[in-house]
């Protein structure tokens, strides 16, 4: 196993990795896993990792788990990086790519984090895993808990979880609790209860989640054959995924497996944008949004737990956070579906919506290698898709009826 440390991002204090920890016991700061990059690079090379299939565990030597033979895996990662020629032409972008992480086993990027997080739960001897969720975390955790034979409790905001995600969590046998409140309140409850009730929390404040999710950045560099994208657009909710990507790009660069890092743009929905507001106001403090609202329910978060790490990551990359409206998100979702055959859930279209806005405001470099991260599959949220689409027309079961409808001679 790679040598690593669980370290506070504020005061640098080291924490015992054999005990559950989500915040610094000295100062309350967020924790991160710091791996020995030199050792990992050497071990990856000796393990001939490039001969392995593209996946989270292709990079096993850079992921801090004890025993690779004991991982809980559903073959996550290895998702397509799709060259988007039609979208590129539409917006005058020379090299536009979408990393479609909605093709993971449960339909979202969360699986990358859960394969590591649930493996860690087993290593630590925990018997119950838990999370608060806008939907995808709960769907993914429920699936991995089923696989690993762990009890699973998920707290979701009442009335604001897309149907597909709810179906998943229920089908995988999780205890699904609908909280009278929003995601931020549900997360507060889980965090407060964790120690008392012996719950292993697998929200993205758990540093091992990030260790799995960072592999998406490694994959992008490998898929671009060692070229690092110049710009990366990513949706921001609780902030964990942008932190994970930035960690991944930085590590891959330090390990000499690629060169350079992209500028990262975090995209929030206008009604749930406390991090974008910080950039707009030039403030160092986040003001939570009390009643976040957006059609992209996955990122309907007003008090992102990882805001400090996220802001640091975006700034370090030379980027920032900005907003898109619900209409812009839904428009981008249709563009992806109709020009590229990619069907994301609304949050999975937010990154492209942010890029389109930048293009329209002349803020994007049109010749740059640009990647938009699409985080979740459209089938997660069929209601929103159907609401935006024309109803199917009904015809008699006859060629005449079809012919009439298509205008006589067909098309
Ligand atoms: N996209 C999708 C589809 C998501 O489900 C989420 C987060 C994000 C983007 C934002 O990622 O929180 O790491 O910044 N969903 C969480 C959940 C909150 O509970 O499923 P983030």
* Residue 230 within a domain: yes
The CATH code of the domain that includes 292 is 3.40.50.1100
Summarize pLDDT for 151-172 with one digit per residue, the tens. 999 999 999 999 999 999 999 9
CA of 300 to the centre of ligand 1 (A): 9
Q: What's the rounded Cα separation, in Å, for the pair 232 and 245?
A: 9
Summarize pLDDT for 168-198 with one digit per residue, the tens. 999 999 999 999 999 999 999 999 999 999 9
Say if CB 128 and CB 198 are below 8 A apart. yes
Most ligand 1 atoms within 8 A of CB, residue of 98, 106, 136, 239 to mutate: 136
* Residue 163 within a domain: no
| CA-closest residue to ligand 1 atom 3 | 376
* Residue 262 within a domain: yes
The pLDDT value recorded for residue 226 is 83
CA of 237 to the centre of ligand 1 (A): 5
Sign of CA dihedral 351, 352, 356, 359: positive
| CA-closest residue to ligand 1 atom 11 | 237
| Ligand 1 and 376: CB distance under 6 A | yes
* Residue 148 within a domain: no
pTM, 2 dp: 0.97
Residue 18's alpha-carbon distances to 15, 21, 36, 122, 314, in angstroms, are 9, 9, 18, 11, 30
What does the DSSP 8-state code read for residue 390?
A: P
* Residue 270 within a domain: yes
The yes-or-no verdict on residue 200 having pLDDT over 70 is yes
* Residue 310 within a domain: yes
Q: How many domains does the chain have?
A: 1
* Residue 73 within a domain: no
* Residue 239 within a domain: yes
Other CB atoms within a 10 A radius of the CB of residue 123 amount to 16
Summarize pLDDT for 48-62 with one digit per residue, the tens. 999 999 999 999 999
Q: What's the rounded Cα separation, in Å, for the pair 229 and 214?
A: 15
Residue 92: pLDDT band (50, 70, 90) is very high
Task: Determine the average pLDDT of the residues in 22-30.
Answer: 96
| Ligand 1 and 348: CB distance under 6 A | yes
Q: What's the rounded Cα separation, in Å, for the pair 222 and 240?
A: 22
**Helices marked H in 154-295:** 163-171, 183-197, 207-213, 215-223, 240-254, 274-281
329 is in which domain, residue-wise?
Answer: 81-105+210-384
Average of per-residue pLDDT values in the chain: 97
């Amino acid at each position: 196993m790679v040598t690593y440390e669980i370290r506070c991002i504020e005061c640098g204090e080291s924490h015992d990795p054999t005990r559950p920890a989500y915040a610094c016991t000295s100062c309350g700061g967020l924790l991160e896993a710091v791996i020995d990059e030199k050792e990992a690079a050497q071990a990856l090379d000796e393990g001939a990792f490039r001969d392995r299939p593209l996946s989270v565990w292709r990079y096993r030597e850079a992921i801090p788990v004890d025993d690779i033979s004991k991982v809980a895996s559903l073959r996550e990662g290895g998702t397509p990086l799709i060259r988007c020629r039609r979208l590129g032409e539409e917006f005058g972008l020379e090299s536009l790519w979408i990393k479609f992480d909605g093709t993971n086993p449960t339909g979202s990027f969360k699986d990358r984090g859960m394969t590591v997080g649930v493996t860690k739960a087993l290593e630590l001897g925990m018997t119950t895993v838990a999370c608060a969720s806008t939907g995808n975390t709960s769907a993914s955790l429920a699936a991995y808990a089923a696989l690993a034979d762990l009890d699973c409790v998920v707290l979701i905001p009442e009335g604001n979880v897309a149907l597909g995600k709810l179906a998943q969590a229920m089908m995988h046998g999780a205890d699904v609790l609908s909280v009278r409140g929003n995601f931020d309140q549900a997360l507060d409850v889980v965090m407060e209860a964790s120690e008392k009730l012996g719950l292993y929390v697998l929200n993205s404040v758990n540093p091992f989640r990030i260790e799995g999710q960072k592999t998406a950045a490694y994959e992008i560099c490998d898929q671009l054959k060692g070229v690092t994208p110049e710009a990366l657009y990513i949706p921001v909710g609780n902030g964990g995924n942008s932190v994970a990507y930035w960690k991944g790009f930085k590590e891959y660069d330090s390990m000499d497996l690629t060169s350079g890092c992209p500028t990262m743009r975090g995209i929030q929905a206008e009604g749930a944008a406390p991090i974008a507001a910080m950039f707009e106001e030039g403030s160092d403090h986040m003001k939570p949004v009390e009643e976040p609202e957006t059609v992209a329910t996955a990122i309907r978060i007003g008090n992102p737990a990882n805001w400090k790490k996220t802001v640091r990551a975006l700034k370090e990359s030379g980027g920032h956070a900005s907003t898109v409206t619900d209409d812009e998100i839904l428009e981008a979702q249709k563009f992806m579906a109709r020009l590229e055959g990619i069907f994301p859930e609304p949050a999975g279209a937010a990154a492209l919506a942010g890029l389109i806005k930048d293009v329209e405001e002349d803020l994007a470099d049109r010749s740059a290698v640009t990647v938009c991260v699409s985080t979740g599959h459209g089938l997660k949220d069929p209601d929103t898709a159907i609401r935006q689409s024309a109803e199917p027309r009904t015809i008699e079961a006859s060629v005449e009826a079809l012919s009439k409808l298509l205008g006589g001679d067909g098309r």
